[in-house]
Structure 1
Amino acid sequence: MLALVAALFTAAPAAHADDTAFELRPLVPAGADHQQKLRAEVEHWTLAKMAAVGLNHEDQDATPPPGGWDDLGKPWPREAGLVSRTAGKIFVQFTDVDTGAVTEDACSGDVVNSANQSVVVTAAHCLRIHTPVNIGFGNVIATNMVFVPGFNGANLPRHTTSTALPGKDIAPYGVWGVTREWFTNTWSQSADWLLGHDMAAVLVANPDDPRPIGQVTGGQEIGFGQPQRQTQYVFGYPTINERNYYRPGKVSPQLQRTFDGRSLMVAQGTPWADPVYYSDVMPGALSPGCSGGAVLQNFDPATGKGLQTAVFSRYDDPGQIIGIMGWVEGPNMSSTHLGDEERAVYNVAQSASPA
């Protein structure tokens, strides 16, 4: 197992000598057995595994604030425009680089328009984390990853032990295996949020559908170096209430709410610009599970179309002058604004072959 991890962590040759994107070893390499390995990656995620990883740890579905859902976080209606197809849930298996221990988690992602029609944008920490002296999140790397656009967790039984694979009721556009992955050069040097640039682009393929994902779901436009302090909509699948700043007992009763990981949620507001991390920060109640979720400007709720200008990265607490607890819970959401490093990642990914 450790040999596999070492191979995955070795940088593949850069597509262009002048780009700054860092590529991990492919999760599903090209070759005669590519389709077989792609199918194995996808079929790892049975109903039981998806339920264990993708739903919260409580025996209770999401609960809204007493006054109803608000702009800090509310469900996005199913099948409502483009974003209901492009936004999706990521299921990832991590392997500890030092010990070989395996854990599994969930993130969010979004299909963006690209030359190869195969690019999903997410957060770099959904692929690789190495926190200082292995505290917190440790030293882990993704060894299996799938993307489920339009994930509908309402039909996923909570305590199932089923080894069946999800159908169209849960994965209406299929389950897509991640084949290749890139993140920013900064994240390759400091995979711990300390220097920012927490963005990744992955290529996906479906063993049961020869079409690229962009032909199945469509894609959001993506923009780099766009103006900040614009109205933004953050989309993702909040799941973990242990790190939910707005959970009962943490905040005043009128703000309390919980999440279940079943549904696409959205927070909206006008962020301020963090000049240190080049990030967009705004009040938002969406809990962990939203990592890598799309941040859209110029968003039209009627069509579900927008311009992706950032990806959700971590939380922010202005009261936490020393320490990182505010990065873990909030109350604000901090998103990586897409700039030159992120453009390099996208450009390499969109010009690459998924296999």
Structure 2
Amino acid sequence: MRHLPHTASARLAVVAIAAATVGVVAPAAHADTTAVELPPVVAAGPNFTQDLRAEVNYWTLAKMASVGLNDDGQDATEPQGGWDDLSTPWSVDGQGLITRTAGKLFFVQKDVDSGALIPDACSADVVTSANQSVVVTAAHCVAVHTPFDLGAPYGMGNTLVTNMVFIPGYNGAALPRGTTSTALPGTDIAPYGVWGATREWITNTWSGSADFALGHDMAAVLVANPDDPRPIAQVTGAQQIGFNQPQNQYEYMFGYPQTNERNWYWSDNNDGTRASNGEPQNLWRAFDGRTLTVTRGQSQPDAVYANDVLNTAQAPGCSGGPWMQNFDPSTGSGVQTGVNSRYQNPNQGPSPLGWLNWLQGPQMEGTHFGDEEQAVWQAAQSASL
């Protein structure tokens, strides 16, 4: 999930209920799979390099810290029972290709109605492509249009990205909390550089219902580096990508969780100061947005959205992170078949009722790549920067 201030929860609950009242209809069997391109973030032309550099240079350490760390001011904490399959920092378990291809997105969305600018953070991954320049993420990290246009303070009205950078292999351990530094990140934070987004595509379904109601929450983004002429896949490598792959598989799910207010396993969501989730204390944990984290386990299909569902203890910030099948922990490589989309609460029954609780839950739904997602990847991989 992308970061969302917890003050928005009550308003979004009203919106979700209203949306459910009018009904959630599964996509038609022969829905249009044509990918939809959003307005370019950095347009081609004589000012391309200059604008790309301005996009990258916007993200100082101070701006990264204000957007990419949690809101509660605490560093990540391990559960009393130890890290487990629900979530583990990947640095604890392994290295390999995923430490180079997975990374963190920093971006600014503009509310197209009010003009307000909304900074945020997500996760993404480099995948194989003909132009070697494609990263994939969740569509809600690039465009959102919620019912009734909630508006700017909540980052969930009618928004489009105006600035976005991707940091593959992001390591936030050296990012100080509360810094006011105008310096740019070094190799300690961005070991493979900072890459600016140039063009973005979303699924046809998301372009018409950019609010989780109909699923297909996936986007492909082209990236370039003003300081490196090579395409990103030549720098980091790339994960294989698969479409219409089998479900009910053992999955590895990666992301950069950060927002504990919406962390199902955060102590404040279990100790009576917030709505009790009833989770055992030895499972409580906190995140700070600095570290690539993995969840692993047997997934189940969601019959309504054709998504994959996995028990997880992650938090917002992991939106857009990859779901991997046939993943080899010793090499850090596999086949990416989905992206983190939203939470699911099984106590509220099967989807679409579970959609009412997308803000928080003990399960994650991952967009399972099908025909629409393949069309998005095809459009991106055949395009120029």
Pairs within 5 Å for 1:34-183? 34-77=48-91, 80-135=95-150, 137-183=156-202
1:129-180 Cα offsets, whole Å, 9 max, x none, are 1110023622211111000000010011111100010000100000000000
Q: Is the 8 A contact 1:184 1:198 kept in 2?
A: yes
The secondary structure found in structure 1 opposite 2:107 is: strand
Partner of 1:5: none
Partner of 1:188: 207
Give the Cα–Cα distance (whole angstroms) in 2 for the partners of residues 134 and 331 of structure 1: 28
Root mean square deviation of aligned Cα: 1.3
Give the Cα–Cα distance (whole angstroms) in 2 for the partners of residues 173 and 337 of structure 1: 28
The secondary structure found in structure 1 opposite 2:173 is: helix
Partner of 2:298: 270
Q: Is the 8 A contact 1:299 1:306 kept in 2?
A: yes
How far 1:325 sits from its partner (Å)? 4.8
Q: 1:334 aligns with which of 365, 368, 378?
A: 365
Q: Is the 8 A contact 1:318 1:326 kept in 2?
A: no
Q: Is the 8 A contact 1:279 1:334 kept in 2?
A: yes
How far 1:194 sits from its partner (Å)? 0.2
Give the Cα–Cα distance (whole angstroms) in 1 for the partners of residues 356 and 38 of structure 2: 29
Give the Cα–Cα distance (whole angstroms) in 1 for the partners of residues 108 and 323 of structure 2: 24
Amino acid at match of 2:50: Q
Q: Name the stretch that deviates more: 136-145 or 263-272.
A: 136-145
How far 1:323 sits from its partner (Å)? 7.2
The secondary structure found in structure 1 opposite 2:220 is: strand
Partner of 2:317: 289
Amino acid at match of 1:45: W
Give the share of equivalent positions with the same residue, in percent.
64
How far 1:252 sits from its partner (Å)? 2.5
The secondary structure found in structure 1 opposite 2:96 is: coil
Give the Cα–Cα distance (whole angstroms) in 2 for the partners of residues 285 and 246 of structure 1: 6
Give the Cα–Cα distance (whole angstroms) in 2 for the partners of residues 317 and 170 of structure 1: 34
* Runs of 5+ unmatched residues, structure 1: 1-17
Q: 1:300 aligns with which of 308, 324, 328?
A: 328
Structure 1 consecutive aligned stretches of length 4 or more whose deviation exceeds 4 Å: 321-325
Partner of 1:229: 248
Q: Is the 8 A contact 2:33 2:203 kept in 1?
A: no
Give the Cα–Cα distance (whole angstroms) in 1 for the partners of residues 166 and 133 of structure 2: 12
* Runs of 5+ unmatched residues, structure 2: 1-31, 271-278
Partner of 2:38: 24
Give the Cα–Cα distance (whole angstroms) in 1 for the partners of residues 96 and 368 of structure 2: 24
